[in-house]
Chain A
Amino acid sequence: MSYKIEIQSLSAWFGSKQVLQDITMKIKQNVVTAIIGPSGCGKTTLIRCLNRMHELTPRAKVTGRVLLDGEDIYGENVDPVTVRRRIGMVFQKPNPFPMMSIYDNAAAGLKLNGIADKHRLDEIVEESLRAAHLWDEVRLELGKSGASLSGGQQQRLCIARALAIEPEVILMDEPTSALDPTAAAKIEQLIRVLAEDYTVIIVTHNMQQAARVSDFTAFLYLGRLVEYGSTKDIFENPKSELTEKYITGEFG
């Protein structure tokens, strides 16, 4: 198995506050990697560094390298916009575009990037809604507002929207934390299926979720990568005492 993403000595700041300290890790292709850790440990910042969203925050700073297929996404001639088309993102709170229909939400990435061919759009919209396990629920009401769906459906719509631009990597920032357990379970199933075609990196504060959906797990604490390995090892046989304490619920 080859490495899709290599993070090399990545550090990140908000103003003068350092939130990530010298993170180095390699992420494999077509697997689900979970990032766990207590609130404020830098999980979200870490994945926001992977699609160059972190730098959009005023006074935010990043150093280090992130290689996508061996090429540094922070390289001098790299346009962050192209990086974001290859590395899609799903946010914590479902955020479909409220002024757009379900169809337009799924097609948003393509339309906003200038694809107008109706036939092709129809195809991709159906494909991505199917891939997000939403098609059967919405196929008869594609013209309705994206905001009219339930929370879980909205989140799957956001996944479909991310899939429609055919990314290689999908970042998920606590994608189920705003959802009820049934809706969360559907998303978890979906994540497993997505891993067949995509490299998935998921941030979660829910350890059971990490254990259920991921192949590899990274434990972050106070901006440092404490331990990283196969999910099985992390949960059954952690090397670090800190990791053990966290997964057994001694702190969090």
Chain B
Amino acid sequence: MRSYRFRKLENRIMISLAYVALVIALIPLASILIETISNGLSAMSFSLFFEEIPPLGQSGGGIGPAIQGTLIVVALASIMGVPIGVFSGIYLAEFRQSRIASVARFLNDVLTNVPSIVLGIFGWVLVVVAIGWSVIAGAVALAIMMIPIVTRTTEEAIKLVPVNIREAAIALGVPRWKTTLTVVLSSAKKGIATGILLAVARISGETAPLLLTILGSRFWFSGFTQPTAALPLTIFNFSQSPFRTVDLPRAWGASLILIFIVLAINIIVRYATREKYG
């Protein structure tokens, strides 16, 4: 048998290796945050939030329409995507053995891995060709991106609800559909909310599908069938600008705001779905 001292040493080495790996993993995360915050904060100003986007290289103005556009497109995508995702997830969990469910589950997994640019083209073919570059087209593309994520997490969350909770309701003479929509959903709401958050966070930062659908704009929102601005597109445009001194700070500012929007949505949803009795 190995000596106690040797095992102790071995233990120390393994723990040190784990720490090193953790630090390496945290370096990019920390540097992204530090870089974004330090560059972004210096770009913050009242006008950044509330003024229209200037042409590249021109000083003044802000990125107001991009903030507004992101919020509108993401909200609209969620309105379309969340109910479809949640109800699909309910179906997959409740009828898990049916033939349709296993086919749908497979297709859903495939959809999760479709590159986002492809969804952009899909939104373009589906909506842009018919009504032109528009908020609706962007929301459709992003909604399609959300659905598989929300579906999968809803299914998993519902499967985790203990059978005895479900049976308790059934035994009280509550119809099955009502049991699912009340007792089961409310037991699973935390997991479902996490899934929605993941999806919202993911689509908020998407650039590729938006390039092909909402096109981008320098002006305030002017209708659901009109092109609009969005933060990822603005970040992209400003960061590619040849007028670095003027435009790069704006790109950082927009990045910081995008991170904060995702964070804020996160906190709000967590608060709204917190367990009453922790």
Contacts of A85 in B (CB 8 A): 172-173
Is A28 close to B, CB under 8 A?
A: no
- Give the distance in Å from the alpha carbon of A112 to the alpha carbon of B181 in the complex: 10
Contact A91 B168 (CB under 8 A): yes
> Of all chain A residues, which has the CB nearest B277?
A145
Within A80-114, which residues are at the interface with B (CB < 8 Å)? 81-85, 88-89, 91, 93, 95-99, 101, 108-109, 112-113
* A interface secondary structure, majority: mixed
B171 contacts which of A84, A98, A148 (Cβ < 8 Å)? A84
Whole-angstrom distance between the Cβ of A162 and the nearest chain B Cβ: 7
A235 to B70, CA, bound (A): 76
Contact present for A95 and B277 (CB under 8 Å): no
Q: Are B174 and A112 in contact (CB under 8 A)?
A: yes
Closest CB in chain B relative to A57 CB, distance in Å: 10
Instruction: Decide: A113 near B173, CB < 8 A? Known: A99-B275, A147-B277.
Output: yes
- Within B145-188, the residues touching A (CB, 8 Å) are 162, 164-165, 167-175, 178-179, 182-183, 186-187
B275 touches A88 (CB 8 A): no
Task: Flag if A93 contacts B164 (CB, 8 Å).
Answer: yes
Whether B97 sits at the interface, judged by CB under 8 Å, is yes
Please name all residues of chain A whose beta carbon is closer than 8 Å to the beta carbon of B179 when the two chains form the complex: 112
Best-buried of B171, B183, B187 by chain A (most CB within 10 Å): B171
Q: Would you call A165 and B276 a contact (CB within 8 A)?
A: no
Contact (Cβ within 8 A) A108 B172: yes
Across-interface contacts of A88 in B (CB, < 8 A): 171-172
A-B contact count (CB 8 A): 73
Q: Are B167 and A84 in contact (CB under 8 A)?
A: no
On chain A, the residues within 8 Å of B173 by CB distance are: 81-85, 109, 113, 165
B174–A81 CB distance below 8 A: yes
Q: Is there an interface contact between B168 and A99, defined as CB atoms closer than 8 Å? A: no
Chain A CB count within 10 A is highest, among B169, B178, B187, for B169
- Chain B residue nearest to A84 (CB atoms) is B173
Q: Determine the distance from Cα of A165 to Cα of B170 in the docked complex, in whole angstroms.
A: 13
Cβ contact of A108, chosen from B162, B169, B187, cutoff 8 A: B169
Contact status B164-A97, CB under 8 Å? no
Q: Which residue of B lies closest to A56 (CB)?
A: B170
- Tell whether, in the assembled complex, residue A98 and residue B165 are in contact, meaning their CB atoms are under 8 Å apart: yes
Closest to A86 in B: B173
Cα A96 to Cα B167 in complex, Å, equals 11
Supposing A82-B173, A148-B277 touch, asked if A97 and B167 sit within 8 A by C-beta, the answer is no
Binding site for B on A (CB under 8 A): 51, 53, 56, 58, 81-85, 88-89, 91, 93, 95-99, 101, 108-109, 112-113, 144-145, 147-148, 158, 161-162, 165
Please, could you name 29 A-B residue pairs with CB atoms under 8 Å apart, sorted by A?
A51-B171, A56-B170, A81-B174, A85-B173, A88-B171, A89-B171, A91-B167, A95-B162, A95-B168, A96-B168, A97-B187, A98-B165, A98-B187, A99-B275, A108-B169, A108-B172, A109-B172, A109-B173, A112-B178, A112-B179, A112-B182, A112-B183, A113-B172, A113-B174, A144-B277, A158-B168, A162-B171, A165-B172, A165-B173
4 closest pairs, A vs B, by CB? A85-B173, A145-B277, A109-B172, A89-B171
